[in-house]
């Protein structure tokens, strides 16, 4: 067994979603992200080919456009674009959803329109690139390039950044990094750094991180608790009207703890879903949809936890949110597995006996690696050295499971960690054999997030430039430098 490491503890909000530690023990630079949209720039690394604009619309019905958006949520922009064109929102597609408080450059496809039909939209620069025979989908996003400014960093930030860079170089597998001096003057050179490939806070909900808890209840075949966790279960960070509404829902379940949940009131509220609907504000439209289904069917609050009516209520939300519940549960378990590996001192840049690795996707854009989790190989003791050389050259990556029905767990100590985390969560791979959109076969995910990082201090504030493969989070890298909680940024 590897020796356990003494690590800096993560922020409590992060620990709630399975992120237990920092890699670097350096003090943070503090600061804030997104003081203005220009402080957070994201550019898609495109992996989607377009035919010329004059191609036959019959064969190529999709118009491919590149949009640079300032302070636009991707979904809101797609809705605004479709409204301006007078078409259904379903005819607008994209490969990756971007944050609102940013300047983002990404591709969209719009079915059945011409380049001259494109409208002018405030805060958006829209350029027609060509035509395509199909719409964009998530698999068409290879990665993203980031340019991020951290405003109001502490005095002496350059020294702290340099020390953190040294730690992250060592974690990425740079054998010379640990003995190298952490000199701020070295920041002028690009450095290859690495961090655990955690799922960031956005995956679970920043102000009310419950999505994974709902998913875990679903996997435990307890849709009643899943409905309560989503529609009830207030968070301290929510507005007063929202907390009061969730308290009311909890009271109907017999689980309330708020001022409206004393014994007498609870007896009146039990099963009173109509009263809950009166309390739930319209902005909580998905919660209202769930409770509305309970009211329509007159579901008793003490109905069996796996009763079909509870499943019916859960399915009131859109199919993508149904999948997100389960995906968030898988992500939480992944974070827990990765955190335990880090605590035990097992390497991330190379395998140990019992690991499962995947190989590189040869079609990734230049300068960006992409793990191909469809190509997996178990690593026994005899092949550790050979596979380690593949990892060193960027041809292979150590993985951990996103648990589903077809997940095969590792062997040796990595497998021991995976099984212990699942047992602690009372989850087995077969538990993801679920109805409808909740079903998941699972996959695996690289545990090391490695990138070439460039840091500058133009204007006094640190600016970070780097690229990440699709599905990885810029904030997972930046948290090592700021050492601030997700809500403080």
Same domain, 227 and 128: no
**Region at 71 (left for phi over 0; alpha for psi -120 to 50; beta for the rest):** left
3-state secondary structure of 220: coil
Q: Is 448 domain-assigned? A: yes
Q: Is 319 domain-assigned? A: no
Same domain, 101 and 188: no
The band of 97, judged by pLDDT with boundaries at 50, 70 and 90, is: confident
Number of residues assigned to the chain: 489
* Spatial contact of 143 and 106, defined as CB atoms under 8 Å apart: no
Instruction: Give the lowest-confidence range in 90-99, 106-115, 347-356, 428-437.
Output: 90-99
* Spatial contact of 47 and 366, defined as CB atoms under 8 Å apart: no
Concerning whether 363 is annotated as a catalytic residue, the answer is no
Q: Is 413 domain-assigned? A: yes
| pLDDT, position 175 | 81
Whether 187 shows a pLDDT value over 90: the answer reads: no
| pLDDT, position 47 | 81
The string of pLDDT tens digits covering residues 198-237 is 999 989 987 899 999 999 999 999 999 999 999 999 999 8
Kindly calculate the radius of gyration of the chain based on its CA atoms and give it in whole angstroms.
Answer: 24
Q: Which of 84, 113, 144 marks a domain boundary? A: 144
Q: Is 316 domain-assigned? A: no
Q: Where are the alpha helices (DSSP H) in 188-272?
A: 211-219, 223-231, 240-253, 263-269
Whether 466 shows a pLDDT value over 60: the answer reads: yes
Q: Is 314 domain-assigned? A: no
The string of pLDDT tens digits covering residues 444-460 is 999 999 999 999 997 78
Same domain, 352 and 299: no
C-alpha 414/C-alpha 91 separation (Å) is 45
* Spatial contact of 125 and 457, defined as CB atoms under 8 Å apart: no
| pLDDT, position 180 | 64
C-alpha 78/C-alpha 83 separation (Å) is 9
Query: Residue 11 belongs to a domain with what CATH number?
Result: 3.30.2350.20
Query: Residue 96 belongs to a domain with what CATH number?
Result: 3.30.70.3160
| pLDDT, position 178 | 67
Query: How many Cα neighbours within 13 Å face the side chain of 467?
Result: 18
Same domain, 408 and 462: yes
Same domain, 175 and 77: no
Strand-pair partners of 32: 151
Q: Is 129 domain-assigned? A: yes
Mean pLDDT for 32-61 is: 93
Q: Which of 144, 163, 196 marks a domain boundary? A: 144
| pLDDT, position 364 | 73
The band of 391, judged by pLDDT with boundaries at 50, 70 and 90, is: very high
User: pTM value?
Assistant: 0.91
| pLDDT, position 361 | 85
Active site residue: 27, 39, 83, 99, which one?
99
C-alpha 474/C-alpha 467 separation (Å) is 9
Query: How many Cα neighbours within 13 Å face the side chain of 447?
Result: 28
Same domain, 80 and 100: yes
Q: Which domain holds residue 75?
A: 38-144
Instruction: Give the lowest-confidence range in 140-144, 145-149, 356-360.
Output: 140-144
Cα distance between the two ends of the chain: 37
Q: Which of 305, 337, 367 marks a domain boundary? A: 305
What is the greatest pairwise CA distance in the chain?
72
Q: Is 417 domain-assigned? A: yes
| pLDDT, position 98 | 87
C-alpha 60/C-alpha 41 separation (Å) is 31
Helix axes 240-253, 285-297, angle to 10 degrees: 30
The string of pLDDT tens digits covering residues 413-441 is 999 999 999 999 999 999 999 999 999 99
* Spatial contact of 463 and 440, defined as CB atoms under 8 Å apart: no
Q: What's the number of domains the chain is made of? A: 3
Give the chain's mean pLDDT: 91
C-alpha 127/C-alpha 100 separation (Å) is 20
| pLDDT, position 259 | 41
Same domain, 170 and 104: no
Same domain, 482 and 404: yes
The string of pLDDT tens digits covering residues 315-371 is 999 998 999 999 999 999 999 999 999 999 999 999 999 999 999 987 777 667 889
Q: Is 315 domain-assigned? A: no
């Amino acid at each position: 067994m590897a020796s356990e490491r003494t690590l800096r503890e993560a922020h409590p909000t992060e620990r709630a979603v399975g992120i237990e530690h920092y890699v670097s023990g350096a003090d943070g630079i503090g600061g804030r992200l997104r003081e203005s949209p220009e402080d957070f720039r994201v550019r898609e690394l495109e992996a989607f080919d377009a035919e010329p604009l004059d191609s036959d619309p019959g064969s190529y019905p999709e118009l491919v456009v590149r949009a640079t958006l300032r302070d636009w949520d991707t979904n809101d922009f797609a809705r605004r674009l479709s409204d301006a064109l007078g078409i259904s929102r379903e005819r607008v597609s994209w490969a990756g959803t971007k944050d609102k408080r940013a300047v983002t450059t990404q591709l969209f496809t719009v079915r059945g329109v011409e380049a001259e039909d494109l409208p002018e939209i405030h805060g958006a620069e829209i350029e027609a690139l060509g035509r395509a025979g199909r719409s964009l989908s998530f698999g068409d996003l290879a990665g993203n390039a980031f340019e991020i400014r951290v405003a109001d960093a502490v005095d002496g930030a350059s020294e702290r950044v340099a020390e953190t860079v040294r730690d992250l170089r060592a974690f990425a597998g740079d054998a010379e990094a640990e003995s190298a001096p952490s000199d701020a003057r070295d920041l002028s050179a690009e450095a290859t750094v690495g961090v655990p490939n955690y799922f960031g806070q956005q995956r679970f909900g920043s102000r009310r991180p419950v999505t994974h808890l709902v998913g875990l209840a679903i996997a435990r075949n307890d849709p009643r608790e899943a409905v309560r966790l989503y529609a009830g279960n207030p968070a301290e960070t929510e507005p007063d009207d929202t907390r009061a509404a969730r308290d009311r829902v909890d009271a109907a379940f017999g689980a309330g703890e708020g001022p409206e949940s004393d014994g007498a009131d609870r007896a009146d509220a039990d099963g009173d879903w109509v009263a809950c609907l009166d309390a739930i504000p319209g902005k909580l439209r998905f919660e209202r949809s769930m409770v509305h289904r309970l009211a329509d069917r007159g579901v008793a609050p003490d109905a069996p936890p796996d009763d079909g009516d509870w499943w019916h209520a859960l399915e009131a939300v859109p199919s993508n949110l149904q999948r997100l519940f389960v995906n968030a549960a898988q992500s939480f378990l992944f974070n827990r597995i990765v955190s335990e590996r880090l605590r035990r001192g097992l390497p991330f840049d190379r395998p140990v006996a019992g690991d499962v690795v995947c190989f590189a996707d040869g079609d990734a854009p230049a300068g960006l690696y992409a793990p191909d989790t469809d190509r997996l190989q178990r690593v026994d003791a005899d092949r550790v050295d050979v596979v380690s050389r593949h990892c060193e050259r960027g041809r292979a990556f150590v993985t951990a499971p996103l648990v589903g029905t077809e997940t095969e767990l590792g062997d040796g100590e990595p497998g021991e960690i995976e099984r212990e985390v699942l047992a602690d969560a009372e989850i087995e791979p077969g538990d993801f054999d679920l109805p409808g959109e909740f079903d998941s076969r699972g996959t695996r995910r690289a545990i090391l997030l490695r990138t070439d990082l460039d840091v500058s201090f133009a204007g006094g504030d640190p600016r970070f430039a780097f690229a990440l493969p699709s599905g990885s989070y810029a904030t997972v890298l930046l948290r090592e430098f700021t050492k601030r909680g997700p809500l403080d940024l």
